Amino acid sequence: MKTHLDAFLAARVLGRDDDWTGSIARAVDMQAAADDVVRAVVQQARRNGVTWQVIGDALGVTRQAAFQRYGKPIDPRTGEPMNTTPLTGAADLAASVIEDLTAGRWSRVTGKFDPAMRDGLSEDALSAAWAQIVGLSGAFEGHGEPEVARAGDVTVTNTPLSLEAGDYTARIAFRDDGTIAGLHILERGRES
């Protein structure tokens, strides 16, 4: 059955042998339409009382991942739908902060702090915390791609870090103005 469906879908997308641009554009349009169908089915399932666990299982993801992609959280403070769109460029901001941190440019990191962070974490405390991590796990070797998600009033990035003898996650929360509202270096596997 799946083979016939795949052949049917491919026939709807493929055109002339030399029209790859058109074929790709039609495939992208079909993918967007399929995403719209999945979103509509998930919303209908939720209206009918289906749990996020069941939806996540059907999608092959966790219930939290399903909620983050398709949910419509309500702000408990206002009763209004929450903004779920992450800050544009948050992954690049996170990479920049990590580069400054690992290069010992403490003032560049703290210069990006919002007022509450500035009051709570000095350059000296930041450098001491990084020195402690390096003392436990050795020199910084590199970082992976940040995962980005909106959480209430901030965009949270989780970036894998590799040190000589340990793996960590840099969790950085950004306000919509790009300032840092939170900075945590967590041992990988203990990110909760």
Question: Higher model confidence: residue 147 or residue 68?
Answer: 147
Inter-residue contact 117 to 180 (CB < 8 Å): yes
Distance between CA atoms of residues 113 and 105, nearest Å? 14
Regarding whether 160 and 96 lie in a shared domain, the answer is: yes
> How confident is the model over 138-158, as pLDDT tens digits?
999 999 999 999 988 999 999
> How confident is the model over 89-144, as pLDDT tens digits?
999 999 999 999 999 999 999 999 999 999 999 999 999 999 999 999 999 999 99
The terminus-to-terminus CA distance of the chain in angstroms comes to 42
Residue 57, domain extent: 3-70
The pTM (predicted TM-score) of the whole model is 0.70
Q: Considering the domain boundaries, does residue 82 fall inside one?
A: no
- The CATH number of the domain holding residue 129 is 3.10.450.590
Q: Considering the domain boundaries, does residue 77 fall inside one?
A: no
